[in-house]
């Protein structure tokens, strides 16, 4: 009888243990599930935020690259434009210099050729001039002649024909006559004065 009471008492005690333990376990499980769900939700939000941030970074990076490429293209275009402008300017300057560094016509070229053949040629009071094609001829009152043939932009042929004696011929580039007799205002004034005497 005592044993039966002890058993019933123990059984009654176990009932109370289960009565307390089950709700506690339910609370623990529920709390754990809540935190698990909450953590999962936080992870999803974090993942979405990371993706969004990554997308922005990539987009910004792409824009930066595009901007850099655009700037490079603009710099290349600017450099190309400046180079082309410099080249055109240099070409124009060269053309202008070439036009300035030349003797203007055959009569002036003939006068320069006479000075090369004989510096005192125009000291004679009487000189005459004639032209035939690309050849200009100057003759003094003694019958001495100087013929200047303007063959091309690269060659001038000067022939001295004395009244008594053999002729002598020399070929030089026109730029040499220019540099020796026509490259300064003073030289040009002197030669132009001789040209005005050639009738």
Q: 96 and 1, same structural domain?
A: yes
Alpha-carbon gap, residue 195 to 178, rounded angstroms: 15
Reported as a single tens digit per residue, the pLDDT across 36-85 is: 555 455 556 555 554 444 444 444 444 444 445 555 555 555 555 565 55
Q: 1 and 94, same structural domain?
A: yes
Classify residue 108 by its DSSP letter. Answer: H
Mark which of 100, 120, 143 sits at the end of a domain: 100
pTM listed for this prediction: 0.51
Please tell me the predicted confidence (pLDDT) of residue 165. 84
Reported as a single tens digit per residue, the pLDDT across 112-154 is: 999 999 888 888 768 999 999 999 999 998 899 999 999 888 8
Mark which of 72, 100, 128 sits at the end of a domain: 100
Alpha-carbon gap, residue 32 to 25, rounded angstroms: 10
User: By the 8 A CB rule, do 111 and 191 touch?
Assistant: yes
Domain that holds residue 67: 1-100
Mark which of 53, 84, 100 sits at the end of a domain: 100
User: By the 8 A CB rule, do 121 and 158 touch?
Assistant: no
Q: 110 and 31, same structural domain?
A: no
Alpha-carbon gap, residue 63 to 86, rounded angstroms: 34
Strands of the sheet with 168-172, listed across from one edge: 127-132, 135-140, 145-152, 155-161, 168-172
């Amino acid at each position: 009888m005592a044993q039966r009471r002890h058993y019933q008492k123990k059984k009654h005690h176990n009932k109370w243990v289960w009565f307390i333990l089950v709700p506690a376990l339910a609370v623990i499980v529920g709390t754990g599930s809540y935190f698990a769900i909450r953590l999962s939700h936080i992870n999803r939000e974090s993942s979405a935020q990371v993706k969004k941030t990554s997308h922005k970074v990539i987009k910004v990076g792409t824009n930066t690259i595009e901007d850099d490429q655009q700037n490079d293209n603009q710099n290349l275009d600017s450099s190309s434009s400046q180079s082309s402008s410099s080249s055109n300017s240099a070409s124009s300057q060269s053309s202008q210099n070439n036009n300035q560094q030349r003797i203007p016509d055959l009569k002036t070229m003939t006068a320069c050729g006479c000075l090369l053949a004989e510096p005192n040629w125009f000291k004679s009071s009487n000189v005459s001039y004639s032209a035939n094609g690309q050849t200009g001829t100057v003759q003094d009152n003694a019958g001495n002649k100087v013929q200047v043939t303007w063959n091309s932009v690269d060659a001038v042929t000067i022939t001295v024909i004395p009244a008594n004696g053999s002729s002598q011929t020399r070929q030089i580039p026109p730029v040499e006559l220019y540099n020796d007799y026509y490259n300064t205002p003073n030289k040009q004034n002197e030669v132009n004065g001789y040209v005005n005497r050639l009738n």
